Amino acid sequence: MRGEAAGYERDDGRGHRVERPPDLAAAIVAAADALVDVLDSAASRHHLSVSPTQLRVLSLISARPETNVNRLAELLDVVPSSASRLCDRLEATGLLRRAADQRDRREVRLTPTAAGEQLLRELAERRHRAVRAVLDRMSPRAQHELLLALLSFQQAATPAPAEAPAEQAVRTA
């Protein structure tokens, strides 16, 4: 397998050898940076009244309806007081609401307001259009190859599901 030592790798089982760029990881990081720039420019053209961090908080809370300040702090990898201050600012702008949990009144749940959800929808639409504009400058074949590569990357990056405890017990017993 002389070719593999020279920087070649087998393709996905079709027997074709494809050359890997000398620094594939750097190329992927550069492409990811370009994508982030496209997404950020869509947000900045929107003249948002919230910071990127506040948008992230709003997105995290929207995707996780059971979130409280402690869980948000974990997700952001910050201390709870910092997460609480972020929520204070979002609440002051009318984008976030704190509400007592119906099952446990001691718990305070964070939920986006209708205005917060609308902001996230508008931003998602702007980002979608910005990415679409970049894709429109690519050939259909390049778009298809990008899709396949991204799906493959996503699959490789997704951890395999953990074995069920019962299966582990059977194997170790």
Query: What pLDDT, on a 0 to 100 scale, did the predictor assign at position 16?
Result: 67
Q: What is the pLDDT of residues 29-62, one digit of tens each?
A: 999 999 999 988 887 766 667 888 899 999 999 9
Q: What is the pLDDT of residues 94-146, one digit of tens each?
A: 999 998 877 877 788 999 999 999 999 999 999 999 999 999 999 999 999 99
Please state the domain count of the chain.
1
pTM reported for the whole predicted model: 0.70
Rounded distance, CA 173 to CA 168, Å?
Answer: 8
In a domain, 143, yes or no: yes
In a domain, 39, yes or no: yes
Q: Which domain holds residue 137?
A: 23-156
Around 7, how many Cα atoms within 13 Å sit in the side-chain half-sphere?
6
Rounded distance, CA 29 to CA 23, Å?
Answer: 10
Contact 128, 120 (CB under 8 A): no
SS3 state of residue 137 = coil
- CATH number, domain with residue 63: 1.10.10.10
Query: What pLDDT, on a 0 to 100 scale, did the predictor assign at position 46?
Result: 61
In a domain, 161, yes or no: no
- Angstrom distances, CA of residue 125 to CA of 113, 115, 122, 145, 167: 18, 15, 5, 24, 44
